[in-house]
Structure 1
Amino acid sequence: MRIALTDPIEPIGEAILREAGHELVPAAGFGADAMRALVADADALIVRQKLPDDIVAHGPRLLCAVRHGVGVDLIPVERCTEQGVIVANVPGANADAVAEFLVAQMLAAARHAEWMHARLLDTGWGQARQRTAAATELTGKTLGIVGMGAIGSRLAEIAGMGFRMRVLGHRRGDAPMPAPAERASLPELFAESDYVALACPLTPETKGLVGPELLARMKPGAWLLNVARGPVVQEAPLVEALRDRRIGGAALDVFWEQPLPADHPLRTLDNVLLSPHGAGITQEAATVTSRVAAEEVVRILAGQKPRNFINPDAWTTARARRAALGHEGSAA
C-alpha cells in the first residue's frame, strides 16, 4: 500500500513502513493543493501540516490519517469520521521535549539570557552585565498550567519538584490533579501565577480562551507561555498588553498565522520570545513520534484498531470503506 507523507519522518519510521511492504510517497509541496494531490492514490497519510477540509474527497483510497504528533486540529476529524477514515495520533511522545522547552523559556525570561547575549556582543560587557540587576529566580514563584495532559503533568513535576515552584493546574473535567499541582479556576490561575503556561488542545472551547479578561488578571510582571496552538490566545489584546507593559512578557511558540508574517506587531516588541513552533521537536521526540506513527499506520492497514483512536465512532464505517476497496482483514 502507498503511505503519503506530508513531511519527512525519521528513518526508523520509514524502515517500519517499508518492512511491512508499504511504499512511501513524499509530498511535492506545501499547502492545500499539494495535500490534495498527495492523497490521490494514497492508502494512508502521516500528517505534519494542515490538511484541507475536503482532503477525504481527494483520497478515494484513503483508509487513515495518522497525526505525527498530538494535536489533531490539523486533520478534519469530523469529515474523516463521516467517510470512514480512521484518525490516530501519538500522544505523549514529545511531552519531555515541550516541558523542557517551557522551563527553558521561563529561565530565559527570568535571567534575561537572550538579551544579555545580544548586548554583550553588540555593546559590550558592562551594559550586558547591568541587566543582572533585573534577574529573578524560579524558586518560590507560581506557575499556572492550562492543560494537565502529558505535557502539563511533566512540566508540573519539573517545576514543582525541581525548582520548588508552586504549581496551579487547570483541566477539563474532575480527574485528579497530578502532583504537585493544585487545582485552580482560570481566573485564580491567571491572577496568582508569575508564569502561565498554555498546554491545552485547540478545541471550540479553547479557541480565543485567553483574551482581555484573563490578560487583565495577570500580574504586571507575569509571563504568558504558549506551546498549545496560536488561536488559544487572542493576539490583538495580547499585543496591547505587552506594548503597554501590563504584563511582563510572552514566550510564544505558536501563532494564528504560521509562519509568523514579517510585518506582525509581535516582531516589534522587546518583551517577547518568539520561536517557530519548535517546542516539541528534538531528536529524541522525533524518533519516538515517527516510530509510533508508523506502527499505527501498519496496525490500521492490517485491519486493526489503532492504539490511539481519535474517532472510534468511525470504526463501523471504516470497515465498510475498507471492504468496498477490496481489502481483507478486520479488528481482532
Structure 2
Amino acid sequence: MIFSTHPLHPEVTADLKALGAFQVASAPTAEAIVAESVGAEIIVVRAPIPQGIAPRERGLRALVRHGAGLDMIDVDEATAAGVLVANVPGANAVTVAEHVIWTAMALLRRHTQVDHDLRHAGWSVARAHADHGRELSGRTLGILGLGNIGKLLARIARHGFGMQVIAHTRSGATAEGVLAVGFDTLLEQSDVLALCAPLTAQTRGIIDAAALAQMKPGAILINVARGPLVVEPALLAALTSGQLAGAALDVFDTQPLAKDHPLMGLSNVILTPHMAGITEESMLRMGQGVVAEVRRVLSGALPVNLVNPEAVPLYHSRFPA
C-alpha cells in the first residue's frame, strides 16, 4: 500500500493508484497516521510522521517527502529501521520565491493597512498611507540560507528589481551576484530579510531579541522557512515598538496559529497558513517528483534524492534484490 498523509494533486493520485493500492489519511493528525498507515510499503509525507512507525512497519520501504524539508521525518529512526528517506528538492522554489517578493512589496506599500482603511475608514484615510510607502527596487535583500529557494529568490531580486543581494550560510556558499556575509552583517544591512534556512539545532531561535535589535530600524522580516527560527515574543516586541516596520510570516512555533494569537492583532504583519510553497503548479511538480521516486523504489532501484544512504545495507537485507 502507498499511504499519503494528505490528499494529492489529481494527476498524482491517478499515477500512484496505477502503481498499487493507494490510501489517504482521514486527517493529517498523529493519531490517524499511526492507525491508518499499518501495512504501508511507501508513505508520502506532508505531515509529521510519529515516531515508532518506521520500526513497526516490517514492509515499509520508504518515506518520501512531498517537498524538501525533512523536519517532519525522524531520519535517524528511519535509517536504524532500514527505511529509505527521499525528498523532492526545488520543486516549489519558484513558488516560495514569488511569495517572498509578493509579501515584501505588500509590506513596503502598506497593503494591509490600506485595504483595511479603504474598507472601514474611507478613501482619504486609506490613500494617506501612500505617502509612507516604499519601493522594493534598489533595496538590499538579505537571505538566510542559500538553497534552491534562496538562489532563485536572489536571481529574481537582482534581475527583476535591481536589488543588492547578500546572504549568510553556515558553509559560506554563495551564488552569482550574491555577496556572502557574516550573520551580523546580514542583520545590519538588510532592508528585507528573508529566512530560507532549514530548521536545525544551529538555526532554532537564531532570530532572537539580540538579532532583531541589530536589524535596520524600519526593516522587514519574511519567514518562509520554519517558525522556530524566530523567537516569537521577541518578534512581537520588535513589531510593536517599531524596530521592525513589518513582517510576513508563513510559519509559526505552533501550527495552526491560534485565533487569539497576538500576531493576529497587528496591522503591520501579513500572516499566511504555511502556504508559501503551495500553488496548483507546485503541487503538481512536487507530486510528480514523488511519483518518480515511488516508482523507482517499487521497481527495486534507489531514489535519486536519497537522504539517508546509510540505510541502504539494512534496506537491502530487508528487501533482497
Length-normalised TM-score, structure 2: 0.97
Provide the secondary structure at the position in 2 that maps to 1:136.
coil
Alignment of 1:1-332 (within 5 A): 2-20=1-19, 22-175=20-173, 177-323=174-320, 329=321
Unaligned runs of 5+ in 2: none
2:83·2:315 contact (CA, 8 Å) conserved in 1? yes
- CA apart distance, 1:159: 0.7
Segments of 4+ moved more than 6 angstroms: none
TM-align CA RMSD? 1.2
- What residue identity is the alignment partner of 1:185? G
- What residue identity is the alignment partner of 1:161? H
Provide the secondary structure at the position in 2 that maps to 1:29.
coil
**CA distance, structure 2, for counterparts of residue 322 and residue 258 of structure 1:** 37
Higher alpha-carbon deviation: 261-270 or 280-289: 261-270
- CA apart distance, 1:122: 1.5
2:113·2:268 contact (CA, 8 Å) conserved in 1? no
1:40·1:60 contact (CA, 8 Å) conserved in 2? no
1:252·1:274 contact (CA, 8 Å) conserved in 2? yes
Unaligned runs of 5+ in 1: 324-328
- CA apart distance, 1:114: 2.6
- CA apart distance, 1:214: 1.1
* Alignment size in residue pairs: 321
2:138·2:162 contact (CA, 8 Å) conserved in 1? yes
- CA apart distance, 1:317: 1.1
Provide the secondary structure at the position in 1 that maps to 2:3.
strand
**CA distance, structure 1, for counterparts of residue 302 and residue 226 of structure 2:** 28
Percent identity at matched positions?
41
- CA apart distance, 1:93: 0.2
Post-superposition Cα deviations, 1:173-200, rounded to whole Å, max 9, x if no partner, equal 143x112211111110011111100001
- CA apart distance, 1:265: 1.5
- What residue identity is the alignment partner of 1:108? A
Length-normalised TM-score, structure 1: 0.94
**CA distance, structure 2, for counterparts of residue 312 and residue 57 of structure 1:** 17
**CA distance, structure 1, for counterparts of residue 159 and residue 188 of structure 2:** 22
- CA apart distance, 1:295: 1.2
1:36·1:58 contact (CA, 8 Å) conserved in 2? no
**CA distance, structure 2, for counterparts of residue 32 and residue 244 of structure 1:** 38
- CA apart distance, 1:56: 1.5
Question: Structure 1 residues 37 and 60, CA, compared in 2 at 3 Å: closer, same or farther?
Answer: farther
**CA distance, structure 2, for counterparts of residue 320 and residue 198 of structure 1:** 41
Question: Structure 1 residues 18 and 31, CA, compared in 2 at 3 Å: closer, same or farther?
Answer: closer
Question: Structure 1 residues 117 and 251, CA, compared in 2 at 3 Å: closer, same or farther?
Answer: same
**CA distance, structure 2, for counterparts of residue 298 and residue 272 of structure 1:** 42
- CA apart distance, 1:242: 1.2
